[in-house]
């Protein structure tokens, strides 16, 4: 009987082996998808790599051999002059302006959007879904559509030529997406947890501040990253609101630099790379929070 059982077990293992081998082999669809993703990745990364390496070239190299990737002669002064040279004070001033705008916009976006998402997710009142739908419709309207009335409103508030005049509208236009992301996560928190908190004497605001927000850290990290990257790369709104190089953010500084040094292509590439590098590095390190935050509220606990 032992021999018969061993043979039966061996036959089952032998039958499963080809099946496991077939499952481990990549399918034609998987290979095609991988090929498409590889082409897209190369198409996205190649211009970035060309700009980074082009900043280490001379203008003569760019003109004589524009199709080459690696510099024949590495020139560090294109980057060092921007970071530590004559243009460094202007660059770091504009970097500070971008940081101030991004920080204020993100803090206000997360604060107001988390409170609104909590109301839409945990409270029941007449017209709740209609009001939430109004915020959803806000995703369809970028800031450029309302740039004229927005400028008039900012000027009436006395915030023209002021960093707050950029940060406040950026926070307002970031609210719809932030609420849409946070609401499912807040709804996924079990009601039993809220009931237990109320039994322990916790108020509605106490439950929101002490329990819900700490549990929502992945989702809050997601919306913070998206808001920071969007605000950092904003161009049209700062162009209309701000005036003067001392108030400009980095995207405006890159535009002005490329105009002022239009003949120095290598230095323009270097300035462009330095300008977008903080957002790229930040996004690369924070990308995992975006994935975890978007999926954390997809399944109700």
pLDDT tens, residue by residue, 192-235: 888 888 888 888 888 999 889 988 888 888 888 888 888 888 89
Q: What pTM did the predictor assign?
A: 0.80
Query: What is the distance between the alpha carbons of residues 32 and 38, in angstroms, rounded to a whole number?
Result: 10
Highest CATH level, class, for 85-296: mainly alpha
In angstroms, how far apart are the furthest CA atoms of the chain?
93
Query: What is the distance between the alpha carbons of residues 164 and 83, in angstroms, rounded to a whole number?
Result: 26
Name the percent of the chain lying above pLDDT 70: 87
The yes-or-no verdict on residue 21 having pLDDT over 50 is no
The yes-or-no verdict on residue 100 having pLDDT over 90 is yes
Q: Would you state the pLDDT for residue 167?
A: 93
Please, where in the chain does CATH 1.10.3720.10 lie? 85-296
Mean pLDDT score of the chain: 83
Quick check: 56 and 72 in contact, CB under 8 A? no
């Amino acid at each position: 009987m032992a021999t018969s059982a061993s043979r039966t077990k061996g036959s089952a293992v032998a039958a499963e082996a080809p099946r496991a081998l077939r499952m481990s082999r990549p399918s034609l669809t998987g290979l095609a998808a991988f090929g498409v993703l590889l082409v897209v990745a190369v198409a996205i990364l190649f211009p970035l790599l060309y700009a980074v390496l082009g900043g280490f070239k001379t203008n003569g190299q760019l003109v004589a051999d524009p199709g080459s990737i690696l510099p024949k002669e590495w020139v560090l002064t294109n980057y060092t002059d921007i970071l530590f040279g004559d243009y460094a004070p202007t660059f770091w001033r504009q970097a500070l302006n971008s940081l101030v705008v991004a920080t204020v916009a993100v803090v206000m976006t997360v604060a107001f959007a988390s409170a609104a998402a909590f109301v839409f997710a945990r409270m029941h009142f007449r017209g709740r879904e209609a009001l939430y739908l109004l915020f959803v419709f806000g995703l369809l309207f970028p800031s450029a559509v309302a740039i004229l009335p927005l400028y008039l409103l900012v000027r009436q508030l006395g915030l023209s030529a002021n960093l707050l005049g950029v940060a406040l509208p950026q926070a307002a236009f970031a609210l719809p997406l932030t609420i849409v992301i946070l609401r499912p996560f807040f709804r996924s928190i079990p009601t039993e947890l809220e009931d237990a908190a109320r039994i322990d004497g916790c108020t509605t605001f106490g439950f929101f501040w002490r329990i819900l927000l700490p549990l929502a850290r992945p989702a809050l990290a997601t919306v913070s990253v998206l808001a920071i990257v969007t605000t950092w790369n904003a161009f049209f709104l700062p162009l209309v609101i701000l005036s003067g190089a001392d108030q400009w953010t980095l995207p405006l500084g890159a535009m002005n630099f490329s105009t002022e040094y239009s003949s120095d292509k290598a230095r323009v590439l270097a300035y462009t790379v330095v300008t977008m590098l903080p957002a790229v590095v930040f996004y690369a390190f924070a990308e995992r929070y975006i994935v975890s935050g978007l999926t954390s509220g997809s399944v109700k606990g």
